[in-house]
Structure 1
């Protein structure tokens, strides 16, 4: 848990950390679980993912700060037309093997209760993390 009031959630995924890692770094898989129109770019460390949602003309851009297979993926939001409050925040996914598959610890650093989007994002991240888990489980 973070100490800065950023959004956090932990879920158990019936898949390996490698399968969850792939779902976070392969653009086609990101498109699927995040219900995006398209995702292009590179999910490797130093790369960028450009994600188009719905009818948006400009992508949400995630700079990949870290992609250490299969334990951690850290993005930094450099552009977010759909949710401007996200710019400069860092979605962070940490995976660990468990008896049941994988524990996914998620923190969206900078997504704090004082932001206008916090309540909606709280609901949406909960939904999309469940979709991420289901996607990784289907691929396993």
Structure 2
């Protein structure tokens, strides 16, 4: 995957382990419609948002306090021409202590400017990471998608 994949970084006022634990609770910051176990190496799980987006992830790296990688095994993005655009991409969370803060660098490896979803997905990821995940880590108040 190329090095121009989407990346965003946040700093939080919590420990690397607290950040790691929150990342692995995507129901609390990404979306309520998640099926399967998300907090263990090798687990496969599904994210669903209405009839617009379904993706199946497998946790391929799970290093407490340091790194989490979710490989997108399959995806169906009904608002795109190439509905499987996310398939075989990786959602990567690198966690590091930076002074008295913790840095989280999120990369969607494979989400590059040439793909149709780039603008929509980068806007969504930016909000999810900077607002929802950060809020969960610092205040136990994430803003996940909900089914209405």
Q: TM-score, normalised by structure 2?
A: 0.81
* 1:64 equivalenced with 2:59 (yes/no): yes
Rounded Cα–Cα distance in structure 1 between residues aligned with 2:12 and 2:122: 19
Aligned residue number for residue 136 of structure 2: 135
* 1:41 equivalenced with 2:41 (yes/no): no
Aligned residue number for residue 14 of structure 1: 13
CA contact (8 A) 1:111 1:118 kept: yes
Give the secondary-structure state (helix, strand or coil) at the position aligned to 1:85: coil
Aligned residue number for residue 4 of structure 1: 3
Give the secondary-structure state (helix, strand or coil) at the position aligned to 2:8: strand
CA contact (8 A) 1:96 1:104 kept: yes
User: How far apart are residue 4 of structure 1 and its match?
Assistant: 2.2
Deviations 1:86-111 (A, max 9, x none): 11001110011123421011111111
CA contact (8 A) 1:30 1:39 kept: no
Q: Tell me, which stretches of 5 or more residues in structure 2 are unaligned?
A: 78-82, 141-148
CA contact (8 A) 1:31 1:39 kept: no
Would you tell me which structure has more helix in proportion to its own residues?
1
Rounded Cα–Cα distance in structure 1 between residues aligned with 2:58 and 2:34: 16
Alignment length (residue pairs): 135
Deviations 1:63-89 (A, max 9, x none): 111010010001110122236211100
2:28 to 25, 32, 42: 32
Rounded Cα–Cα distance in structure 2 between residues aligned with 1:9 and 1:95: 12
* Ranges of 4+ aligned residues in structure 1 off by more than 3 Å: none
Taking structure 1 as reference, are residues 59 and 120 closer, same or farther at Cα in structure 2, changes over 3 Å only? closer
